[in-house]
Structure 1
Amino acid sequence: MKKIRNTNLDLLKIMACVGVVLLHTTMPGFKETGSWNYLTYLYYLGTYSIPLFFMVNGYLLLGKNEISYSYILQKIKWILVTVSTWTLIIWIYKRDFPENPIKKVLGSLLQRGYFFQFWFFGALILIYLCLPILKKFLKSKNRYLLILSVLVIIGLIFELTNILLQMPVQVYVIQTFRLWTWFFYYILGGFLAQFNLDTLKKCYRSWMKVITVVLLFASPLFLFMLAKNTHHNLFAEYFYDSIFVKVISLGTFLTVLTFDLNADKNRWIIYLSNQTMGVFIIHTYVMKVWEKSVGFSFAGAYLLFLIFTLSVSFIVVGILMKIPYFNRIVKL
């Protein structure tokens, strides 16, 4: 039987991908002044991208009936192949021959090296290694709720500590190892996969979607004020433990998941979704092209920077996907 593709998950992947690019392209437009402008708004709107990435992955994998280590090791192998290949490409391009390329590969997984965003792959590998055991434990919805409740409490402790200390304590842990956060979103996605989609559509009412959308688009102002006046640190990464962000991430995921999307009429969603991981990989180097060749010395430069990075990244990845061998390292 041919497996039916969930176009709604593809749309969530596109939203998460765009959100990551927002996070990386808009902050320079307000970080120095710490002022509120449209770039600040777009930056904090991108906060939900990482939670959505983990939730989609959790929905897909924990939604499987069984997860074997052979399957997991195969997925880890392709992550390592992708990370190693891109690291070697930049290593050769930069002629960084005195540097040990293996250290560069490992460094990328630990938020160092040539691709700082590859910490996501490092965290994903650690989660993957736990999945076969985790799947055996999560035999019922009650067990999902139990472990999610524990992780929510841990997140609340971090959130309250940040408020009391007037600084984000997560700063002492690189993103790869903030596993209490990533496991929460991953398992939350898996929990939703335990429900029939029609049941979710009936339970998640229209008024809930309206509230979610209102909160989502109003949240950047709240997050900015909290970052500036409480955290005294503008980075959105320190909000992932926030119960507020968790609720909106859940609402956003459910809102998009319960859309009525016809795959045949929305093939562009599938096309762009297939490119999202490639865009995630290369967009930081597309940013460097703009920074070196154009710069930000004119009005509207940062908005054009965002548009340029998104459009060029998707175009380049679209071309790479048509080239043998390269297509494998822009799609996981």
Structure 2
Amino acid sequence: MSRKRRIVGVDLIKVLACFSVIMLHVSMPFFYSDGAFKVGNTIVLSKTVYYLGTSAVPLFFMANGFFLVNRAKMSINYVLNKIGLIMIPILGWNLIVFIPKIILKKNENGYFETVLGSLIQKGFFFQFWFLGALIIMLFLVPILNKIMKSSIKLYVIVLIIFLIISWLIDLYNHFSGAIPLQKNVIQTFRVWTWISYYMSGGLIGNLIKKINFIDFKKQLNYFSVVLTVLTIIYSIYNAAWISNPFAEYNYDNILIFIWIVTIFLTCISTTKFSKHSTKIIESISKYSFGIYIVHVIALKIFEKVFVFDGIFINLITIIGVFLISWLITFVISKTPYVNKLVVF
């Protein structure tokens, strides 16, 4: 498998993850609000769209692990530089929101309190929790990188340990009758989950040098379709089982894990890209970081225009939020000095 194709495959994963996270954040209000499920004939369709987005965050972690765990040279300076680049948009976007609040005298918290809040899923930029979790993973990368280089067997053993922890937590949620254990831990700090996906991406990045996944392309396509259907069915019924509809509580499930890994393998085994499609994929992938950041702003705009009712408006909102986020990111990326707010 050529390096070029592998890179386009991972770019495709980033595009899929980017679009999926918008599906997650847009679709929830269409079937669940004020702590209760809505009723209606099209609700199941909105649930389907929502749970299709479950792969978003895990795929982001896997894509990062795919490259960084297998990086030839890994140093603390590299890690600190990466963290610095992540902190620029975190500080910048929070400042943009914080300044008007000061002017209007509506600020309840200090600036740095606001920044820290965004990293633990609070405030306007609640989605920055992912960046907080990514920073934690970056601190762990040198260790994972060293383990990978020293012993692939040890790496696999460590990965299996974290997978077992994740799957046991999921089993507990199903049979304890209690609220999901993860609910007691902010997403930023669910390290066992993120390490499982991050290390899985790293393992695939290592195996791709030895295994030609193209040979399994047909099987991967088949299993992707089957597992996608099973995931939707499972997720809808599981929401009632654990009395919680949020996709974040499915990340530790073994079926969901296998589904997401299969999607990842399917994407990197895809080799037939036209020049036009390659250009589009690489363009969206390049701005995926910015789209993830600004999609909340675009969603706020749509919330002022549409009433969240019906699958048609749901799909229109998803596409609209995606396109507006892409446009905003593109314009900012071409603007001197502020382009660091959307490009990582």
Q: TM-score range by the shorter chain?
A: over 0.9
1:123 aligns with 2:130: no
* Cα deviations by residue, 1:20-73 (Å, 9 ceiling, x for unpaired): 000000011111435542111000010011110000000011121221000000
Task: Write the mapping of 1:22-61 to structure 2, written as runs, cut at 5 A.
Answer: 22-31=23-32, 32-33=36-37, 36-61=43-68
Confirm or deny: 8 A CA contact 1:320 1:330 kept in the other structure.
Answer: yes
Confirm or deny: 8 A CA contact 1:148 1:188 kept in the other structure.
Answer: yes
Confirm or deny: 8 A CA contact 2:46 2:311 kept in the other structure.
Answer: no
* Cα deviations by residue, 1:64-117 (Å, 9 ceiling, x for unpaired): 122100000000011111100000001113334553111111111111122111
Confirm or deny: 8 A CA contact 2:193 2:252 kept in the other structure.
Answer: yes
Question: Residue 288 of structure 1 aligns with which residue?
Answer: 300
Aligned length: 329
Against the structure 1 CA distance between its residues 263 and 320, is the aligned structure 2 distance closer, same or farther, given a 3 Å change threshold?
A: farther
Confirm or deny: 8 A CA contact 2:29 2:308 kept in the other structure.
Answer: no
Q: Specify the SS of the correspondent of 2:37.
A: coil
* Cα deviations by residue, 1:159-180 (Å, 9 ceiling, x for unpaired): 1110112331110001000000
Question: Residue 18 of structure 2 aligns with which residue?
Answer: 17
Q: Give the Cα–Cα distance (whole angstroms) in 1 for the partners of residues 308 and 257 of structure 2.
A: 34
Q: Give the Cα–Cα distance (whole angstroms) in 1 for the partners of residues 54 and 284 of structure 2.
A: 21
1:309 aligns with 2:310: no
Confirm or deny: 8 A CA contact 2:24 2:51 kept in the other structure.
Answer: yes
Q: Which of 158, 173, 179 is the aligned partner of 2:185?
A: 173
Confirm or deny: 8 A CA contact 2:121 2:187 kept in the other structure.
Answer: yes
Q: Specify the SS of the correspondent of 1:94.
A: helix
TM-superposed deviation, 1:226? 1.0
Q: Give the Cα–Cα distance (whole angstroms) in 1 for the partners of residues 186 and 108 of structure 2.
A: 26
Task: Write the mapping of 1:102-141 to structure 2, written as runs, cut at 5 A.
Answer: 102-138=112-148, 139-141=150-152
TM-superposed deviation, 1:262? 4.2
Q: Give the Cα–Cα distance (whole angstroms) in 2 for the partners of residues 80 and 164 of structure 1.
A: 40
Q: TM-score, normalised by structure 1?
A: 0.93
2:284 alignment partner AA = L
1:284 alignment partner AA = V
Q: TM-score, normalised by structure 2?
A: 0.90
**Cα RMSD for the two superposed structures:** 2.0
TM-superposed deviation, 1:203? 5.7
Confirm or deny: 8 A CA contact 1:19 1:47 kept in the other structure.
Answer: yes
Question: Residue 221 of structure 2 aligns with which residue?
Answer: 209
Confirm or deny: 8 A CA contact 1:204 1:254 kept in the other structure.
Answer: no
TM-superposed deviation, 1:142? 0.9
TM-superposed deviation, 1:307? 2.1
Q: Give the Cα–Cα distance (whole angstroms) in 2 for the partners of residues 244 and 299 of structure 1.
A: 26
TM-superposed deviation, 1:137? 2.2
TM-superposed deviation, 1:311? 1.5
1:277 aligns with 2:289: yes
Q: Give the Cα–Cα distance (whole angstroms) in 2 for the partners of residues 147 and 221 of structure 1.
A: 31
Q: Give the Cα–Cα distance (whole angstroms) in 2 for the partners of residues 210 and 186 of structure 1.
A: 25
TM-superposed deviation, 1:234? 0.3
Q: Give the Cα–Cα distance (whole angstroms) in 2 for the partners of residues 17 and 207 of structure 1.
A: 25
TM-superposed deviation, 1:246? 0.7
Confirm or deny: 8 A CA contact 1:12 1:56 kept in the other structure.
Answer: yes
Question: Residue 162 of structure 1 aligns with which residue?
Answer: 173
Q: Specify the SS of the correspondent of 1:292.
A: helix
Confirm or deny: 8 A CA contact 2:51 2:247 kept in the other structure.
Answer: yes
Confirm or deny: 8 A CA contact 1:7 1:261 kept in the other structure.
Answer: no
Q: Give the Cα–Cα distance (whole angstroms) in 1 for the partners of residues 329 and 266 of structure 2.
A: 28
Q: Give the Cα–Cα distance (whole angstroms) in 1 for the partners of residues 11 and 217 of structure 2.
A: 22
TM-superposed deviation, 1:283? 0.8
Question: Residue 97 of structure 2 aligns with which residue?
Answer: 90
Against the structure 1 CA distance between its residues 262 and 306, is the aligned structure 2 distance closer, same or farther, given a 3 Å change threshold?
A: closer
Q: Give the Cα–Cα distance (whole angstroms) in 1 for the partners of residues 323 and 331 of structure 2.
A: 12
